[in-house]
């Protein structure tokens, strides 16, 4: 064979075995690619199933970390995320359970309502106080579930004023007393607004506290003090009359006997003043608590001038100047007699605890919507430590001095109860050695 023929034969054989090689190579490549694709698709399927499991809340089982590098990294990230989610979820569940246990075991009732005033939640205590069923009440309008005017008013006021408010409501007890009377329960109410993270109002919470027992005890205490005072009044009057008669007799012993008679007379006057003040307090407390205060629209200057008239002689005796700076247009719905008694008590103290030839200023004005009556003296003032307890019964900064000046220790307590019976309050500012200002704040009407 010639060399050219040999060369062409060889060339032909070489071409067909190259094509086979290419084909085999392509087949291997396709096979490898197929295996890779199958692997990738399996990994993606596992990832998708795992993500679906996590999304449905099953965070226990982890995704198998295999397949190509990127997908294995993604599976690992998803597993880490699931682990963290599981931890957070268990913390949230634990906190919810703890909160639920506290909520459920509270003696106070807790009632939460949304913006439309539908009940969001209530604990067992609230359900028992309001005779409601916990599950069927959720979602109901609070006005339908609890038909009580005081509670409804408190909710309205909280929403209108956009602030927490305290109040009290009376509920008819489900049971009745042994005597067949329908008893009542007193529930103290405290509201608080519920806000979201951006400060928007999303509802409110009411805390209910059953104070029936406390109110009963208060009523027993008030009746007891009232009854005892009443019983004691008659013997005191008899002692005073007997002492006066004895003193007037021409042959009543010597100086010692007269001295003792004077002591008895002075002490019975003191006792009589205490009994009168206790009876006043019991009466004011009763009308205040039962809302029986007989009030009408009266100009405040009329009260101030009547009080000045009553105290003028006592002030003159110490050369203390009483003067008033009162806006004649200030009018309030008050019981004139009671409010005059309160202002008299304040002027009486201002005169008692001031040096002669000083001044006492009486004022009345409208301040932040309240009617404010003030009595300012230039007396000895009160140490700050005494101020928080000053309006308590029988609280005195200087017992001996108060007794010496004829005080009963009940004057300021009477002032406080009169202010409260009008829906108001009292306040005091004082600087030792400079003087004091006592104020009665009444709601304007
Ligand atoms: P009292 O009958 O003792 O005056 P009050 O209840 O009226 O009782 O007052 C309680 C105490 O408050 C007084 O004992 C006195 O210590 C103090 N106090 C009241 N008013 C004044 C005042 N204007 N200046 C200084 N201290 C006062």
Ligand 1 pocket test target in 396, 401, 436, 439 with most atoms within 8 Å of CB: 396
Distance separating alpha carbons of residues 291 and 420, to the nearest angstrom: 11
**Rounded to the nearest whole angstrom, what is the distance from the C-alpha of residue 348 to the centroid of ligand 1?**
9
Distance separating alpha carbons of residues 356 and 318, to the nearest angstrom: 5
Ligand 1 pocket test target in 392, 412, 416, 433 with most atoms within 8 Å of CB: 412
Are the C-beta atoms of residues 349 and 379 closer than 8 Å to each other? no
Any atom of ligand 1 within 6 Å of the Cβ of 353: yes
Ligand 1 atom closest to residue 409's alpha carbon, by position in its atom list: 8
Ligand 1 pocket test target in 311, 347, 411 with most atoms within 8 Å of CB: 411
Any atom of ligand 1 within 6 Å of the Cβ of 372: no
pLDDT value for 60: 85
Q: Is the pLDDT of residue 127 over 90?
A: yes
**Rounded to the nearest whole angstrom, what is the distance from the C-alpha of residue 384 to the centroid of ligand 1?**
14
Any atom of ligand 1 within 6 Å of the Cβ of 436: yes
pLDDT value for 57: 86
pLDDT value for 174: 60
**Rounded to the nearest whole angstrom, what is the distance from the C-alpha of residue 399 to the centroid of ligand 1?**
10
Binned at pLDDT 50, 70 and 90, residue 15 comes out as low
Residue nearest to atom 18 of ligand 1 (CA): 349
**Rounded to the nearest whole angstrom, what is the distance from the C-alpha of residue 396 to the centroid of ligand 1?**
6
Q: Is the pLDDT of residue 125 over 90?
A: yes
DSSP secondary structure string for all residues of 106-148? -SSEEEEEETTSBEEEE-HHHHHHTT--HHHHTTSBHHHH---
Binned at pLDDT 50, 70 and 90, residue 61 comes out as confident
Mean pLDDT of 187-191: 95
Residue nearest to atom 14 of ligand 1 (CA): 396
Residue nearest to atom 11 of ligand 1 (CA): 396
Of 41 and 207, the one with more pLDDT? 207
**Rounded to the nearest whole angstrom, what is the distance from the C-alpha of residue 278 to the centroid of ligand 1?**
16
Non-local (6+) Cβ contacts of 151 within 8 A are: 142, 169, 189, 206
Cβ atoms within 10 Å, residue 302: 16
Distance separating alpha carbons of residues 141 and 424, to the nearest angstrom: 33
Of 360 and 19, the one with more pLDDT? 360
Distance separating alpha carbons of residues 18 and 26, to the nearest angstrom: 12
Mean pLDDT of 59-84: 87
**Rounded to the nearest whole angstrom, what is the distance from the C-alpha of residue 235 to the centroid of ligand 1?**
28
Q: Is the pLDDT of residue 322 over 80?
A: yes
Buried b (16+ CB within 10 A) or exposed e, 334-345: bbbebbbbbbbb
Q: Is the pLDDT of residue 194 over 90?
A: yes
Mean pLDDT of 390-415: 87
**Rounded to the nearest whole angstrom, what is the distance from the C-alpha of residue 349 to the centroid of ligand 1?**
6
pLDDT value for 180: 53
Residue nearest to atom 20 of ligand 1 (CA): 349
Distance separating alpha carbons of residues 173 and 168, to the nearest angstrom: 15
Binned at pLDDT 50, 70 and 90, residue 402 comes out as confident
Of 65 and 233, the one with more pLDDT? 233
pLDDT value for 346: 97
Return the top range by mean pLDDT from 129-133, 310-314, 324-328: 310-314
pLDDT digits (tens, 9 = 90+) for 415-445: 999 999 999 999 999 999 999 999 999 987 6
Mean pLDDT of 350-365: 96
**Rounded to the nearest whole angstrom, what is the distance from the C-alpha of residue 284 to the centroid of ligand 1?**
20
Distance separating alpha carbons of residues 85 and 401, to the nearest angstrom: 71
pLDDT value for 178: 53
Q: What is the average pLDDT value for the chain, to the nearest integer?
A: 88
Q: Is the pLDDT of residue 9 over 70?
A: no
Q: Is the pLDDT of residue 77 over 60?
A: yes
Any atom of ligand 1 within 6 Å of the Cβ of 382: yes
Of 297 and 18, the one with more pLDDT? 297
pLDDT digits (tens, 9 = 90+) for 134-151: 888 999 999 999 989 999
Please enumerate, as own/partner, the contacts of 351-355 that have beta carbons within 8 Å and a separation of 24 or more. 351/311, 351/314, 351/315, 351/318, 351/320, 351/377, 352/405, 352/406, 352/407, 353/377, 353/379, 353/380, 353/405, 353/436, 354/318, 354/320, 354/378, 354/379, 354/380, 354/435, 355/379, 355/380
pLDDT value for 177: 52
Ligand 1 atom closest to residue 354's alpha carbon, by position in its atom list: 24
Mean pLDDT of 234-250: 87
Ligand 1 pocket test target in 342, 353, 387 with most atoms within 8 Å of CB: 353
**Rounded to the nearest whole angstrom, what is the distance from the C-alpha of residue 326 to the centroid of ligand 1?**
24
Ligand 1 atom closest to residue 407's alpha carbon, by position in its atom list: 2
Q: Is the pLDDT of residue 388 over 80?
A: yes
pLDDT value for 68: 77
Q: Is the pLDDT of residue 10 over 60?
A: no
When mean pLDDT is compared across 11-20, 56-65, 291-300, 325-334, the lowest value belongs to: 11-20
DSSP secondary structure string for all residues of 162-192? TS--EEEEEEEEEEE-TTSPEEEEEEEEEEE
Any atom of ligand 1 within 6 Å of the Cβ of 390: yes
Q: Is the pLDDT of residue 4 over 70?
A: no
């Amino acid at each position: 064979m010639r060399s050219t023929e040999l060369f062409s034969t060889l060339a032909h054989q070489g071409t067909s075995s190259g094509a086979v090689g290419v084909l085999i190579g392509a087949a291997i490549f396709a096979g490898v690619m197929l295996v890779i694709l199958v692997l990738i698709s399996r990994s993606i399927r596992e990832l998708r199933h795992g993500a679906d499991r996590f999304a449905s809340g099953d965070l226990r089982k982890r995704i198998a970390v295999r397949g190509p590098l990127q997908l294995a990294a993604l599976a690992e990230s998803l597993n880490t995320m699931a682990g963290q989610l599981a931890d957070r979820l268990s913390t949230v569940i634990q906190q919810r359970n703890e909160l639920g246990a506290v909520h459920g075991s509270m003696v106070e009732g807790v009632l939460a309502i949304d913006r439309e005033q539908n009940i969001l939640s209530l604990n067992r205590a609230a359900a028992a106080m309001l005779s409601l069923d916990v599950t069927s009440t959720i979602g109901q309008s609070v006005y339908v579930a609890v038909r009580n005017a005081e509670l409804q008013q408190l909710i309205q006021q909280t929403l209108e004023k956009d602030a927490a408010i305290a109040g009290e409501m009376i509920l008819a007890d489900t049971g009745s007393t042994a005597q067949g009377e329908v008893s009542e329960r007193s529930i103290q109410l405290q509201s608080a607004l519920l806000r979201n993270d951006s400060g928007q109002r999303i509802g409110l919470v009411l805390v209910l506290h059953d104070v029936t027992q406390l109110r009963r005890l208060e009523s027993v205490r008030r009746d007891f003090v009232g009854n005892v005072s009443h019983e004691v009044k008659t013997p005191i009057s008899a002692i005073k009359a007997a002492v006066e008669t004895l003193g007037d007799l021409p042959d009543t012993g010597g100086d010692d006997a007269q001295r003792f008679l004077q002591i008895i007379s002075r002490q019975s006057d003191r006792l009589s003043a205490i009994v009168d003040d206790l009876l006043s307090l019991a009466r004011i407390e009763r009308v205040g608590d039962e809302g029986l205060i007989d009030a009408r629209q009266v100009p405040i200057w009329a009260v101030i001038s009547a009080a000045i008239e009553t105290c003028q002689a006592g002030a003159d005796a110490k050369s203390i100047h009483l003067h008033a700076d009162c806006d004649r247009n200030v009018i309030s719905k008050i019981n004139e007699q009671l409010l005059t008694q309160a202002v008299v008590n304040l002027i009486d103290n201002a005169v008692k605890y001031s040096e002669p030839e000083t001044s006492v200023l009486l004022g009345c004005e409208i301040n932040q919507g309240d009617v404010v009556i003030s009595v300012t003296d230039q007396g000895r003032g009160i140490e700050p430590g005494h101020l928080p307890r000053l309006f308590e019964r029988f609280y005195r900064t200087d017992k001996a001095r108060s007794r010496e000046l004829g005080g009963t220790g009940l004057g300021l307590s009477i002032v406080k109860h009169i202010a409260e019976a009008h829906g108001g309050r009292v306040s005091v500012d004082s600087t030792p050695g400079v003087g004091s200002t006592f104020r009665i704040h009444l709601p304007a009407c």
